[in-house]
Amino acid sequence: MLQSYFDTDNNGHKSFELPGAKPHYNPDRPGQVEHIFLDLNLDIPNQSYDGTCTIQLKPVRNGIDRLTLDAVSLNIHSVQVDATSTTYDYDGQQLQVHLANPTQTGQSIKIAIAYSVTKPQRGIYFIAPDKHYPNKPVQVWTQGEDEDSRFWFPCFDYPGQLATSEIRVRVPKPYIAISNGRLIDTEENSDYKIFHWLQEQVHPSYLMTLAVGDFAEIQDEWNGKLVTYYVEKGREEDARRSMGKTPRMVEFFSQKYGYPYAFPKYAQVCVDDFIFGGMENTSTTLLTDRCLLDERAAIDNRLTESLVAHELAHQWFGDLVVIKHWSHAWIKEGMASYSEVMWTEQEYGAEDAAYYRLLEARNYLAEDSSRYRRPIVTHVYREAIELYDRHLYEKGSCVYHMIRAELGEELFWRAIQTFVQDNAHHTVETVDLLRAIEKVTGRNLLFLFDQYVYRGGHPEFKIAYSWDSDSKLAKVTVNQTQNDLFDLKIPIAFGYAQGDVGAYSHAPLHKTFTVRVNEKEQSFYFPLEEKPQFISFDANNNYLKTVSLEYSVPELKAQLQFDPDPISRIYAAEALGKKGGLEALNALAEALKSDRFWGVKVEVAKQLAQIKLDQAFEALVVGLNDENPLVRRAVVEALSNNKTYASYKALKPIVEDGDSSYYVEAAAARAIGIIAAAKLEEKPKEEKVLKLLRSILENKAGWNEVVRSGAIAGLSQMKTSAETLDLILEYTRLGVPQALRLAAVRALGTISTGQSAANLDRILERLTELSHESFFLTQVSVVTALGQMETPKAIAILQALATQSLDGRVQRIAEETVAKVQSSAGSDQAVKQLRDEIDQLKKQNQTLMSRLESLEAKASK
Ligand SMILES: [Zn+2]
């Protein structure tokens, strides 16, 4: 019972495989699809279209007399084979075409399927204004990955089939249609225009796309190829600001991957209500229009730049070199995510790249500890989309980095280039990457793949250190605290701080030894001429791992100050935060003022918030004036954990007067809500905070509703207020800008835990209504809200979503959330009261400790 509240260490990981998961294989191939031709006629006002899908297939053998195509919820009008009508069976899922003349090896046949689609639910999406959102643009766009192309045209819908493709589409004026490859023809009359696109390089069905709208077209160029940005009219400047680095990225990746950009053009189309961040359709990436930055958002939003790099990297990893089966999707998603790191390195330097990599690793680690653990490569699942998780992307990225560290710079890139060159326009599996590495370098990295790719988990290290001054020996004890032991060769460096430490470099200040770590506990002894000032375990931090550093404060202080690797400095900051005490606090305070890298300052701010001493406030508040908005944001968030009246007074001016960064303003709005809701002796009046946040809601509409969403998050903290609930409910109605509305939906979960039974029913009723909306992000927000509730009544709504949502991602998180709610709904009032009492005791203890630490500090001066 108590475990559900006081999260204890749980070695047992939940299973990735939900009930109903089973092995998935590519189907038997009747032959090679050579070409797919869609000739479509869009009726946009009626959200429908009709046309013909013609598939040219070269049979692999003689005597095949029926073909099975994927085709979901289409109206099939007729099927012809080589221009002769033929019979077929259609069950709404698969189309069986009967061949009057059985196949002959190598003799291609043409299957022409006349069909129509009305109000499609997946695959192709019609976006239109309605009475609630009269300014919404008219758009049509598609999303094939993973297995949704079958919802908009009949196909052999798995990535193992590569073919050329062609889309001819008639659209009403003034809309334009963008698709894969190059525009080979247009025709028009007074009412409509026909766009005819041809993709001459083979690619899989999931990468075929169509985007239609009244877009502005902005033209750029790389090496004589068109680079275009399509956005809603009026956002041309935002388009250049957000995507303008694309030509430089095309050059960068062409060099790195050793293969010039392979397609005739590169288009990026920003579409409304997109259900992913971006999708790398061959030569025509679709992006959510929420990635378009205005001038202020561009100050501290790097997500857009990373998104652009990620989707572009897929043009090589995914589109040029295609995965044969979803189980190997990490090959492309891992590299696209690692390409974000590479671009960060290129554009912002090594420290930014290292930090980016740490953040990626943490995303994976969070999923591993709180959701499930799985091998990166697995073909057991319910739907392929479940694989698109933090193991696939972020852990995959970390694996690529480990390969790079293992091979070294030159050999790594040669291996990657060979992999791309050898497999261009073909499909690959994980083993093909191993083969390319071995071909170029002679190295067999199966040991690394076995530990990090083919099985779940990562090493969790606990490191202790001591110095024997008589024998001048450094002793480092390494514990692997996880169950499955890892066997790795890890560099341990001893650092000396003299000399110039301003530059980001490793060698000059270190003495490095490499040791084999392969047991539960090992102690290593290193003879050194002088006592080192700090120890860098896994110098450069190339391995994916967790570490807990059990060094004494002086070593940690020196590491925080002098270790050239920002990740090591961050680990030292974490260890100091865990140690607590005034000496640790002072070291962190100094780093917040003077570390050269903003990422370390961000992490230091988090650690300062962890130290329960009143002095932490003084240390943190200085950071509100940092010139880097990312640091200011971290400090604001840290102050929301330092729940004091002083913190409130420091944050209030940011809420009232603003900050150059939207994100800082949003964080401050949230923070004052958190502090107002805390149990403090001296604190702001809730009504005053409510009034302030209400004024934000009334006056601060703006880019992507970031600031107003912050205000909603702040309001949701005032959990016992009925007035606040009314206000939040008001913002969940249709007509409220979508981003703000979604924030309000999520906030219903946060605020629910303090509300009366009657109000709880109102929240549940609202969430039930919202759960019937079909938009993906609304459903996700509903699940998020329900996941925070502590009532078993939330479970029925979740179960309905788990079975009825058309989106595999929603089904999965809804099902996972049921379990979460079941455990939190089990906790009763008595436990809550107990927790409140413990919080009070902690607070009193903090006051005493703070006084004691000050006295000691004074005494020792
Ligand atoms: Zn991707």
pLDDT score recorded for residue 8: 35
Query: Could you tell me the distance, in angstroms and rounded to a whole number, from the CA of residue 407 to the centre of ligand 1?
Result: 25
Average pLDDT (378-386) is 96
pLDDT score recorded for residue 858: 66
Query: Could you tell me the distance, in angstroms and rounded to a whole number, from the CA of residue 277 to the centre of ligand 1?
Result: 9
Query: Could you tell me the distance, in angstroms and rounded to a whole number, from the CA of residue 397 to the centre of ligand 1?
Result: 11
**pLDDT of 502-512, one tens digit each?**
444 444 468 99
DSSP state of 709: H
Query: Could you tell me the distance, in angstroms and rounded to a whole number, from the CA of residue 306 to the centre of ligand 1?
Result: 11
The token duo for 532 is 């080192």
Query: Could you tell me the distance, in angstroms and rounded to a whole number, from the CA of residue 480 to the centre of ligand 1?
Result: 33
**pLDDT of 403-451, one tens digit each?**
999 999 999 999 999 999 999 999 999 999 999 999 999 999 999 999 9
Query: Could you tell me the distance, in angstroms and rounded to a whole number, from the CA of residue 328 to the centre of ligand 1?
Result: 13
- The mean of the pLDDT values for the chain is 94
Query: Could you tell me the distance, in angstroms and rounded to a whole number, from the CA of residue 257 to the centre of ligand 1?
Result: 17
**pLDDT of 800-833, one tens digit each?**
999 999 999 999 999 999 988 988 887 665 666 6
| pTM, entire model | 0.94
In this predicted structure, the answer to whether residue 489 has a pLDDT above a threshold of 90 is: yes
pLDDT score recorded for residue 501: 47
Query: Could you tell me the distance, in angstroms and rounded to a whole number, from the CA of residue 109 to the centre of ligand 1?
Result: 34
HSE-up of 108 (CA within 13 Å, CB side)? 10
Contact (CB, 8 A) for 97 and 31 = no
Query: Could you tell me the distance, in angstroms and rounded to a whole number, from the CA of residue 707 to the centre of ligand 1?
Result: 28
pLDDT score recorded for residue 507: 41
**Comparing 48-62, 463-477, 487-501, 837-851, which segment has the lowest mean pLDDT?**
837-851
Query: Could you tell me the distance, in angstroms and rounded to a whole number, from the CA of residue 811 to the centre of ligand 1?
Result: 21
Q: Which of 770, 779, 724 is nearest to 750 (CA)?
A: 724
Query: Could you tell me the distance, in angstroms and rounded to a whole number, from the CA of residue 311 to the centre of ligand 1?
Result: 6
Query: Could you tell me the distance, in angstroms and rounded to a whole number, from the CA of residue 196 to the centre of ligand 1?
Result: 27
Query: Could you tell me the distance, in angstroms and rounded to a whole number, from the CA of residue 422 to the centre of ligand 1?
Result: 22
The backbone region for 496, taken as left when phi is positive above 0, alpha when psi lies in -120 to 50, beta otherwise, is beta
Query: Could you tell me the distance, in angstroms and rounded to a whole number, from the CA of residue 206 to the centre of ligand 1?
Result: 13
SS3 468: strand
DSSP-assigned beta bridge partners for residue 140? 126, 212
Query: Could you tell me the distance, in angstroms and rounded to a whole number, from the CA of residue 776 to the centre of ligand 1?
Result: 18
pLDDT band at residue 847 using 50, 70 and 90 as cut-offs = confident
Query: Could you tell me the distance, in angstroms and rounded to a whole number, from the CA of residue 197 to the centre of ligand 1?
Result: 24
> What is the four-CA torsion angle of 740, 745, 750, 754, rounded to 10 degrees?
120
Query: Could you tell me the distance, in angstroms and rounded to a whole number, from the CA of residue 279 to the centre of ligand 1?
Result: 7
SS3 521: strand
User: H or E segment at 198?
Assistant: strand 192-203
Query: Could you tell me the distance, in angstroms and rounded to a whole number, from the CA of residue 39 to the centre of ligand 1?
Result: 28
CA dist 321 and 558 (Å) reads 46
pLDDT score recorded for residue 857: 67
Query: Could you tell me the distance, in angstroms and rounded to a whole number, from the CA of residue 350 to the centre of ligand 1?
Result: 23
SS3 105: coil
Q: What percent of the chain has pLDDT over 90?
A: 90
Query: Could you tell me the distance, in angstroms and rounded to a whole number, from the CA of residue 15 to the centre of ligand 1?
Result: 24
HSE-up of 787 (CA within 13 Å, CB side)? 17
CA dist 635 and 602 (Å) reads 7
Contact (CB, 8 A) for 569 and 587 = no
pLDDT score recorded for residue 498: 62
Query: Could you tell me the distance, in angstroms and rounded to a whole number, from the CA of residue 204 to the centre of ligand 1?
Result: 15
**pLDDT of 328-341, one tens digit each?**
999 999 999 999 99
Query: Could you tell me the distance, in angstroms and rounded to a whole number, from the CA of residue 310 to the centre of ligand 1?
Result: 6
Query: Could you tell me the distance, in angstroms and rounded to a whole number, from the CA of residue 386 to the centre of ligand 1?
Result: 14
Query: Could you tell me the distance, in angstroms and rounded to a whole number, from the CA of residue 580 to the centre of ligand 1?
Result: 40
CA dist 186 and 175 (Å) reads 13
Query: Could you tell me the distance, in angstroms and rounded to a whole number, from the CA of residue 70 to the centre of ligand 1?
Result: 24
pLDDT score recorded for residue 10: 40
Burial of residue 191, with CB atoms counted within 10 A of its CB: 0-12 exposed, 13-18 middle, 19 or more buried: exposed
Whether residue 566 is preceded by a cis peptide bond, meaning omega within 30 degrees of 0, is no
Query: Could you tell me the distance, in angstroms and rounded to a whole number, from the CA of residue 424 to the centre of ligand 1?
Result: 18
Query: Could you tell me the distance, in angstroms and rounded to a whole number, from the CA of residue 762 to the centre of ligand 1?
Result: 39
Average pLDDT (9-38) is 88
In this predicted structure, the answer to whether residue 267 has a pLDDT above a threshold of 70 is: yes
CA dist 228 and 283 (Å) reads 10
In this predicted structure, the answer to whether residue 856 has a pLDDT above a threshold of 90 is: no
Query: Could you tell me the distance, in angstroms and rounded to a whole number, from the CA of residue 327 to the centre of ligand 1?
Result: 14
Specify the residue for token string 């805390």: 678
In this predicted structure, the answer to whether residue 239 has a pLDDT above a threshold of 60 is: yes
CA dihedral for 837, 842, 845, 850, sign (positive or negative): negative
Distances (CA, A) of 251 to 239, 257, 332, 421, 612: 20, 10, 19, 17, 50
**pLDDT of 149-175, one tens digit each?**
999 999 999 999 999 999 999 999 999
Average pLDDT (193-202) is 98
The token duo for 158 is 């798995």
DSSP state of 15: B
DSSP state of 155: B
Query: Could you tell me the distance, in angstroms and rounded to a whole number, from the CA of residue 8 to the centre of ligand 1?
Result: 34
Query: Could you tell me the distance, in angstroms and rounded to a whole number, from the CA of residue 384 to the centre of ligand 1?
Result: 14
Average pLDDT (714-719) is 96
**Comparing 307-321, 587-601, 788-802, which segment has the lowest mean pLDDT?**
788-802
Query: Could you tell me the distance, in angstroms and rounded to a whole number, from the CA of residue 658 to the centre of ligand 1?
Result: 35
User: H or E segment at 186?
Assistant: strand 182-188
Query: Could you tell me the distance, in angstroms and rounded to a whole number, from the CA of residue 488 to the centre of ligand 1?
Result: 29
Query: Could you tell me the distance, in angstroms and rounded to a whole number, from the CA of residue 235 to the centre of ligand 1?
Result: 25
Contact (CB, 8 A) for 199 and 283 = yes
Query: Could you tell me the distance, in angstroms and rounded to a whole number, from the CA of residue 132 to the centre of ligand 1?
Result: 33
Query: Could you tell me the distance, in angstroms and rounded to a whole number, from the CA of residue 314 to the centre of ligand 1?
Result: 7
Query: Could you tell me the distance, in angstroms and rounded to a whole number, from the CA of residue 337 to the centre of ligand 1?
Result: 7
Q: What percent of the chain has pLDDT over 70?
A: 95
Average pLDDT (455-472) is 97
**pLDDT of 650-704, one tens digit each?**
999 999 999 999 999 999 999 999 999 998 888 899 999 999 999 999 999 999 9
Query: Could you tell me the distance, in angstroms and rounded to a whole number, from the CA of residue 333 to the centre of ligand 1?
Result: 5
Contact (CB, 8 A) for 48 and 115 = no
Query: Could you tell me the distance, in angstroms and rounded to a whole number, from the CA of residue 342 to the centre of ligand 1?
Result: 15
Query: Could you tell me the distance, in angstroms and rounded to a whole number, from the CA of residue 392 to the centre of ligand 1?
Result: 10
CA dist 593 and 604 (Å) reads 10
Query: Could you tell me the distance, in angstroms and rounded to a whole number, from the CA of residue 329 to the centre of ligand 1?
Result: 9
In this predicted structure, the answer to whether residue 68 has a pLDDT above a threshold of 80 is: yes
CA dihedral for 213, 219, 220, 221, sign (positive or negative): positive
Query: Could you tell me the distance, in angstroms and rounded to a whole number, from the CA of residue 523 to the centre of ligand 1?
Result: 42
Query: Could you tell me the distance, in angstroms and rounded to a whole number, from the CA of residue 307 to the centre of ligand 1?
Result: 9
Average pLDDT (64-86) is 97
